[in-house]
């Protein structure tokens, strides 16, 4: 059998049988009301839900694949020894030293020996197990351009949650690498719902205001010509036509 490095890598390995396309669902509901001839005010709810989102550095196997009965037995033995002996870390002969290279020798821990897919122990892959949720109240007040003044005010009160944690606190998106921490202080791969918490880009309050004002400028008088100058050039002469156009442009 080939070594794991020949067919797997921590950064980009994908399980084609279980890989799913990410899905995002979005919805919104708004109420609008006009005040006077210039102001329009709206308020509404905006939400979204994502599932089957990519999670980088998801472990192929680990202690989360070991039965609770085995883990509890090791825990009881460790407590009984007052923390002196940890049976989970007891070294046993490596059954496949050419494949399980992370052990660094001919032995592995009892815990590692109980984990499935031992040849891929310590490897990670891109899993599609991430989720995200967004809920927000959005309020907008807008004044249409009138008398040279235009105003747009926006306020958003929101909450962004999803599955967080993992290697280096990674979440469902690589942009979240190291910026979030699961609610339980780490990643619970046995039950990912225990890893739900605020995402790193959660911004509860956001206000954006834009005010534009058109400064008054000098008004240019309308041309006294009622017909294009080129149409009358035969009567007033080409040079006179040019002079008349320049005077009108300057407002003289």
- Residue 48: is its pLDDT beyond 90? yes
Tens-place pLDDT, residues 79-135? 999 888 899 888 888 877 666 545 456 788 888 888 887 777 777 777 888 888 999
Note whether 172 and 196 are within 8 A (CB): no
Q: What does the mean pLDDT of the chain come to?
A: 75
Band of pLDDT at residue 159, cut at 50, 70 and 90: very high
Tens-place pLDDT, residues 163-216? 765 444 444 443 333 344 444 445 778 888 877 878 777 899 999 999 999 887
Tens-place pLDDT, residues 136-149? 999 999 999 988 89
Residue 159 CA: distances (Å) to CA of 163, 184, 249: 14, 19, 57
Percent of the chain scored above 90 by pLDDT? 25
Distance CA 103, CA 99 (A): 10
Note whether 118 and 95 are within 8 A (CB): yes
Give the number of other Cβ atoms within 10 Å of residue 204's Cβ.
11
Q: Record the pTM.
A: 0.64
């Amino acid at each position: 059998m080939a070594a794991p490095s020949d067919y797997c890598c921590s950064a980009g390995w994908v399980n084609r049988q279980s890989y799913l396309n990410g899905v995002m669902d979005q919805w919104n509901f708004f109420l609008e009301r006009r005040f006077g001839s210039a102001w329009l005010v709206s308020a509404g709810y905006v939400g979204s839900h994502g599932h089957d989102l990519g999670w980088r550095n998801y472990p192929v196997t680990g202690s989360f694949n070991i039965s609770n009965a085995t883990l509890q037995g090791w825990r009881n033995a460790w407590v009984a020894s007052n923390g002196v002996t940890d049976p989970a870390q007891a070294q046993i002969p490596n059954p496949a030293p050419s494949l399980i290279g992370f052990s660094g020798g001919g032995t592995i821990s009892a815990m590692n020996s109980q984990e499935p897919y031992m040849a891929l122990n310590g490897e990670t892959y891109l899993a599609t197990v991430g989720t995200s949720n967004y809920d927000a109240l959005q309020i907008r007040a807008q004044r249409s351009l009138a008398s040279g003044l235009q105003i747009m005010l926006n306020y958003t009160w929101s909450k962004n949650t999803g599955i967080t944690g993992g290697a280096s606190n990674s979440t469902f998106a690589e942009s979240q690498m190291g910026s979030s921490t699961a609610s339980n202080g780490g990643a619970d791969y046995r039950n990912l719902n225990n890893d739900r918490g605020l995402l790193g880009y959660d911004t509860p309050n956001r206000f954006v205001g834009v005010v534009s004002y058109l400064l008054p400028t000098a008004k240019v008088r309308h041309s006294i010509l009622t017909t294009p100058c080129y149409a009358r050039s035969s009567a007033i002469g080409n040079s006179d036509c040019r002079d008349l156009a320049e005077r009108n442009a300057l407002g003289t």
